Structure 1
Amino acid sequence: MPAPQPVDPCPPKRLQSAVIADTLEAEIIAGTLPSGSKLDEQALANRFGASRTPVREALQLLASRSLAERVPYRGVIVAQITRERIDMLFETMGEIEATCGRLAAERMTMSERAALEELHQSMGDMAARGAHEAYEQANTQFHTLIFEGAHNAELLAVANGLRLKLAPFRKSQLKASERMKRSAEEHDAIVTAILERNAKGAEKALRRHLLSAARAVLASMG
């Protein structure tokens, strides 16, 4: 596997639908758009100065992240986000990532291990600088390398599906500098175990990492 590419400091302009989806996502996570709120296409098009097509695509993105749902006779509404649901998502993701980590420690090629270590080192610098956005992007890449390192296509598909549902919550908790630094420290234990081919150690470190992330998200909900 080729070495990870550095995060582009000047990324290309994002699709309007992605920008709209991210804005609405942040408002849903913050509670500005409470559960049950109707997401009207025309009203949103007027708000963002867009046509209904990118708004419709944005709502589809929110639905794929389980933040919105289409209800008969009501249209698209904000999904209910409870502590219990978040807890179950993190619990499931913790077990999936732990399994990926155990297999990755056994199956990763030398080039894959080198790419993971290089990315981890660059993320330590991002955390030290407080580069939240760059760290969040790299964090997705970090966990993807572990998923792919398990070399199991079915497990990869399950892990990626869960990642999409949890992405908004993992992103929100990484905005806190202390949590970002703690995340980098937890990654160190994960990378060390994988590099040493310590399957049980990698499994344990990833399970603890997801537990730590869950605690941060639940604490932010009050």
Structure 2
Amino acid sequence: MTLAATFAPSAAEPEPRAAATRADDLAQRLADAITSGALPAGTRLDEHTVAARFAVSRTPVREALRQLAAAGLIERRPYRGAIVTTVSPARLAEMFVAMAEIEAVCARQAALAMTARERHDLRAFHAGMAALVRVGDPAAFAEANIAFHERIYAGAHNDLLAETARGLRRRLMPYRRAQFRTLGRLPRSHAEHLAVTLAIERGEAEAAARLMREHLGLVEAAYASFAHAAPPG
């Protein structure tokens, strides 16, 4: 499998953006290709080839590959460069379980510790996400989803919990983003967020934890459905 066989030729490049933004965008596109099966395990990601294909310098390519390596999507091998790896189903399941438990704790703590202003802002932010559901924009919803969960991490008022949650989220982000491409997932995710939000608003700590745990379990199931339906590379 080669990059040329995976991606259609690029259109004219947009005006130059910050290197970090280019790296993030490139990492997202490659991660989407990997998690969908378009770039199967064993595909070599050569820095020169990737840079030429996306008309960028090698600096954002290196950063994008670093992000993918941190997420466990590629391996750096001596003399072979970056190779697409496969996270075993068992390992992925372990990561989702850990993520669900950590986020459940964050939701519980947020229900106990959030200020009135933070609760109001969480509800308002959730309401604003309804527009993304109506237009059916998975990419924009995925970005808003990160911000929604970040508000809960912050509302827990526990820096160690927030750091742990963010670390796991970074590892699972490509898989969590993929689940928004499953049919009907956006409105279901928005409804699940509402249930968590209301429990936090009411200060119902155990309910908030349970609902968040269930939400992440459904995220895992949605990704599994997407991965199973994805065409082979």
- Using the size of structure 1 for normalisation, the TM-score is 0.89
Which residue does the alignment assign to 2:182? 176
Aligned mates of 1:129, 1:51 — CA distance in 2: 35
- RMSD of aligned alpha carbons: 1.6
**C-alpha offsets along residues 4-58 of structure 1, whole Å, 9 cap, x if unaligned?**
xxxxxxxx95632222222211111111211122211112122222222221111
Which residue does the alignment assign to 1:56? 62
**C-alpha offsets along residues 187-218 of structure 1, whole Å, 9 cap, x if unaligned?**
11101100000000000000000000100111
Match among 211, 215, 218 for residue 217 of structure 2: 211
Q: CA deviation at 1:127?
A: 1.1
Which residue does the alignment assign to 1:194? 200
- Trace 1:151-170 onto structure 2 (pairs within 5 A): 151-170=157-176
Aligned mates of 2:135, 2:212 — CA distance in 1: 24
**C-alpha offsets along residues 124-182 of structure 1, whole Å, 9 cap, x if unaligned?**
23212313222211110010111111111111111000011111111111123511100
Q: Is the 8 A contact 1:35 1:81 kept in 2?
A: no
The share of aligned pairs that are identical, in percent, is 41
Which residue does the alignment assign to 1:132? 138
Aligned mates of 1:197, 1:176 — CA distance in 2: 32
Aligned mates of 2:139, 2:36 — CA distance in 1: 18
**C-alpha offsets along residues 77-102 of structure 1, whole Å, 9 cap, x if unaligned?**
11212322221111110000000000
**2:53 corresponds to 1:29:** no
Aligned mates of 1:38, 1:133 — CA distance in 2: 26
Q: Is the 8 A contact 1:130 1:177 kept in 2?
A: no
Match among 60, 70, 75 for residue 76 of structure 2: 70
SS at match of 1:77: strand
Aligned mates of 2:161, 2:143 — CA distance in 1: 22
SS at match of 2:145: helix
**Which amino acid in structure 2 is aligned with residue 178 of structure 1?**
G
Which residue does the alignment assign to 1:9? none
Match among 115, 124, 142 for residue 109 of structure 1: 115
In the alignment, structure 1 segments of 5+ residues that lack a partner are 1-11
Which residue does the alignment assign to 1:98? 104
Aligned length: 211
Structure 1 stretches of at least 4 aligned residues deviating more than 6 Å after TM superposition: none
Q: Is the 8 A contact 1:18 1:58 kept in 2?
A: yes
Which residue does the alignment assign to 2:11? none
In the alignment, structure 2 segments of 5+ residues that lack a partner are 1-15, 229-233
